[in-house]
Structure formats: C-alpha cells, structure tokens
Amino acid sequence: MRDIFFILAGKVINGLIGIILFGVIKDGLFPDAYINFSLCFAVLTLVSTFSSGAIGGLMLKRSFNLKDNNSIIIQWVLCFLLISVITIEIFIEAKSIPVMYRLQVYCYLISNIFITTILIEFQIKQEFLRMAFTDSFRMIIPLMILIVSRHILKINHISVGQILWVLVIGNGYGFFQFILKVRWQQNHLKDLSYLRRNWRSDLLFSFWFSAFNSIAQLLITVDRKMLSSAYHALVASKIAYTADQVTRIVNGVVFPINIKISSKLGTLIRENKLDKFNLYLNRGALLSLTFGFLLTGALMIGMVIALRYNININLNARYATIYAIATTLYLAAIIWQKRFDYTKFKAIPTLLLLFSCCIAYLIISNTKLYQYGLYYCANILFFCLIAGVGLGLRSRLKMDK
C-alpha cells in the first residue's frame, strides 16, 4: 500500500510541477514562440519515447535477471541512442526541428534516455520513493532556474533554444547516475556475445512496449504541426499551450487510477480470477471516464468564472474542452487495452491506434475540422474501436499462462 501511495503521490506532484513549469515557460517565451517550442518538444518526446519504451521492455525481460544485467542494458541504450540520432537528423531535414537547435536536441535526447533508464531501474527494484523524487527533481530544477532568471535576473524573454538547455540541466541527475553505471560496468561492455545471440528476440520482445506509446506521441506531434499551419503563430501558440496544459492536468488527476487498476489486475491474473478481472477492468474504465468528465466540467466552470472576472489564464476555452474530453477518452481506452495485454492479441491496441490516426487524418485533412487538430478525432475513434473490438473478442481473449 505504501508503494502505491508513493507512485500516486509522485505522479500527482510531478503533474502539478509540470503545469507550473510549462506556465513559466509560456511566460518566458515571446508570445508567438510557444508553438515552435511545443512542436520541437513533441518531436523530442516522440524519439525518446520509442527508445525508452524499448529499453523498458528489455529491462523487464526475464533473461536480464542476470549478474551482467547492467552491462547488457547499457549496450542496448547506446544502440538506441544511435538510432535516435539518425531519427533526429531525419526530423531536422524535414524541418520539424530547426537546425539551430541540433546541439540542444542531442543533449536533451541523450540525457532524457539516461534518466528514463534510471527511473525504470528504480521501478524494477521497487524503489518507488527514489523514482518519485528523481522524476519530480528533473522538473523542479528547470522551474527554479526559470523563476530565478525571470524574477531575480530580470530576464523577461528567453529563446526556445535556451529553454531546451534548461530542460537538459534538469535531466543532469540521471545523466550522472548513468555515467556511474557505465564506469562500474566498463569491464563487461566489450563483451558483445549476448547481443550477437539475442538481438532479434530482444527487439521483437521490446517492440510492442514502445510501438503504442510512440504512435500516441506521433499523434501529438502531427496535431501540433496541424495547429501551426492552421493559425497565425500567436493564436497557434495559445492553442498549443492550452493543449499541453489541459492534457497534463487530466493526466495528473486521472492517470493514477490507471496505476491502481494495473496493480490490481496483475494480482487477479496471477490468481486466475478472469471474471473478476473483466469486472474490475470495466469498473476502472468507468471510474476513469467519470473523473475525467467531472474534471472537464470543472475546467469549463473555472474558465467561465475567469472570463466573467477578466482573469487572464492564457487558455482557449473551446480547445480546453476539446482536449480534456479527448484525453479522458484516451485514458479510459488504455485501461480497456489491458484486456489484450495478457493474451496473444497484444498487437491489436497498437494497430487500432494506428488505424484511428490514419482514418482521423483522412476525415479532417480536407475539411474545416482541420483547425481543431488531429488529437481529439483520433482519440474518439480509438476509444470506440478499443471498446467495440474488446467486447467482440471477449470470448476469445483467453489469458496466457
């Protein structure tokens, strides 16, 4: 119970710090620059999500419960760093990331993968207090730097590149932790026998760990790209800020339900209580929807009050509602997704999300819906598909032993 408390408290605190941090970032940038930061940050998150997701899957693999666990993980981290660098260059060539930010992007990517590896290691070792502290610490440091710059050094505006450097500094703790791991394992890193024997099976095993989250992040990246092309930079910046903050608020409040549900489902699977598994799953999805829609209503009421009393909250009321509803549906859908996680149909949620993104893009690309972005439409489709397919295949979803 204490571990669950640390996880939930860490997620909530980290979410609150993130909301404040991105608010300070918005205030520190020029009014029309946030859309550029949001797009650049979305691409960075996309690349690091793929790498960290795959590494997380590999760290959970049974064959890594060995004495040389650390050296194998470090070898795979270095491999995925190389893949990530190539991917970043592709995005730079496609002008999704300005070439002037190349150095900052590389530093952020490397440091983010390192700290993510450290966080996953804490999770595996069940050191949840250290995991929560480290996860919050990497946001507290940038927040403190920006507050000092703005209110003590009197720096009114900073560039996107400088913001990226500040975020790199926030990842510094994980970077030094990883360097220490490399130093401790340097005598084993030259032994590539494990990789030569198992690289195919490792990549196949880790693929579904990263594919789903990567597609979800790609959805956000394309969404920001659409907003940047549909509006003037000033308007697009406000909408992108609204999207970032509202999705962060909803995730911070509702996602802890997912963590609690996941811990319970694992117990039910081990005890082979499949009827209770399905009942608990549906109740969890319903609870997630309830909290999400209540929060959406609270946000709407709060913005009406803010408008009534001329309080500037830098959020677009219409888009705040759209993104809150879309995020609520997504979080409920990933609870239902767990119906597939313990079966031979593990790939179905990823394929459904990809299909939802493609269909949503076809629907909105040549209509007035283009101005609302891709995120809301794709999540509505994904929610409907994951619920429908899950119910349709329920009798065939026999849990793997």
Report pLDDT digits (tens) over 21-40.
998 998 888 888 899 899 88
User: In terms of pLDDT, which residue wins out, 123 or 376?
Assistant: 376
DSSP letters of 62-78? GGG-STTHHHHHHHHHH
Half-sphere exposure of 111 (CA within 13 A, CB side): 20
- Inter-residue contact 325 to 256 (CB < 8 Å): no
What phi and psi values does residue 84 have, to the nearest 5 degrees?
-65, -40
Q: What are the pLDDT digits (tens) for 231-249?
A: 888 899 999 999 999 998 8
Q: Could you give the CA distance from residue 285 to residue 134 in angstroms, rounded to a whole number?
A: 29
Encode pLDDT of 124-148 as tens digits.
676 777 777 888 888 899 999 999 9
Rounded distance, CA 132 to CA 2, Å? 13
- Report the amino acid identity of residue 91: F
CB within 8 A of 367, min separation 6: which ones? none
Please give the Cα distance from 86 to 89 (Å, whole number): 5
DSSP state of 272: T
Q: What is the pLDDT of residue 331?
A: 94
pTM of the model: 0.83
Q: What is the DSSP letter of 309?
A: T
CA-based R_g, the chain, Å: 21
Burial 245-257 (b: 16+ CB within 10 A, else e): bbbbbbbbbbbbb
Residue pair 114/178 in contact (Cβ under 8 Å)? The answer is: yes
Q: Are 337 and 387 in contact (CB under 8 A)?
A: no
Q: Is the pLDDT of residue 64 over 50?
A: no
| pLDDT (mean) for 310-318 | 82
Query: pLDDT at position 244, please?
Result: 92
Average pLDDT score over the chain: 81
DSSP state of 29: S
Q: Which residues contact 357 (CB under 8 A, 6 or more apart)?
A: 215, 218, 219, 222, 374, 378
Closest CA to 168 of 226, 107, 209, 120: 107
Tokens encoding 295: 């929060």
Q: Work out the pLDDT band at 266, boundaries 50, 70, 90.
A: low
Q: Which residue has the tokens 């300005």?
A: 98
Q: Which of 78-92, 176-190, 207-221, 269-283 has the lowest mean pLDDT?
A: 176-190
The residue ranges of DSSP E strands in 179-325, in sequence order, are none
How many whole angstroms separate alpha carbon 207 and alpha carbon 351?
A: 13
- In 233-301 the beta strands, taken as DSSP E runs, fall at none
